[in-house]
Structure 1
Amino acid sequence: CHATPDDDEVYWLDTVHPDGTVALSPLDRIEQFAQGITQSLILCAHTHLARAVRLRDGRLIVNPGSVGSPGYRDVHPFPHVVEAGTPHARYAILELVDGVWQVTFRHVAYDHEAMAALARRNNQPDLANALATGWIK
């Protein structure tokens, strides 16, 4: 799913607090969104942050990260900034080992400066800075 199984705009593995901070969601909240899903591996996205959470029953939820958008501003549910802290492309390798899903995250350098220059030419300064540095600010 993009965000949660029921809503493409609600972060699953992360929570935005009223002051704009973004933090790992409590396990109870993550598991609530996973109710009714029987698969042992669940993939999600939306925050662009590479993260994995193992549920108490052993299921694994993975956000593989992002290629080309390491930071952005959003206003839902509160104004906030998400920043990966590096301009590298991020992805995940998933392996089933002895019946248990394992995840390895990869960060790969690419010509992010060329993409930042393109964002600048398209009048997208926040995206340009994120692409160049991994940070919005």
Structure 2
Amino acid sequence: SLILCGPTHIARAVRLRDGRLIVNPGSVGSPGYSYNVPHPHVVQAGTPDARYAIVELTPAGWNVSFRHVPYDHRAMATLARANGDTEFASALATGWIR
């Protein structure tokens, strides 16, 4: 009745027609990226916060709460920039690819 998956980096819950719930908690340290495999794509969370989910079974079914937690993302962006990865630095700093 519950399917946990990842890492798509985007926090989301989807209830299927048969009642099963799919939950992706998000990402703790990668709020965005671009990649060319299997085809060109960009993923952007729109927030630099770390994200996770709490899933609990209640008498009414599964309940999901998503949490966004601030952390020192600027320090991580500085480290990415120092390592020459300006795209990842942008994602870490803002949650968006620039």
Q: Deviating runs (4+, > 3 A) in structure 1?
A: none
Q: CA RMSD in A?
A: 1.1
- 2:80 corresponding residue in structure 1: 119
Gaps of at least 5 residues in structure 2 are none
Identify, as 1 or 2, the structure richer in strand: 2
Whether 2:28 is the aligned partner of 1:67: answer: yes
Gaps of at least 5 residues in structure 1 are 1-39
The one-letter code of the counterpart of 1:69 is S
TM-score, with length taken from structure 1: 0.68
TM-score, with length taken from structure 2: 0.94
Q: How many residues align?
A: 98
Q: CA deviation at 1:86?
A: 0.6
CA distance in 2, matches of 1:98, 1:59: 15
Say whether the 8 Å CA contact 2:7–2:27 is kept in structure 1: no
Per-residue CA distance 1:40-72 (angstroms, 9 max, x = gap):
111111321001111111111100000110000
Where relative contact order (Cα < 8 A, 6+ residues apart) is larger, the structure is 2
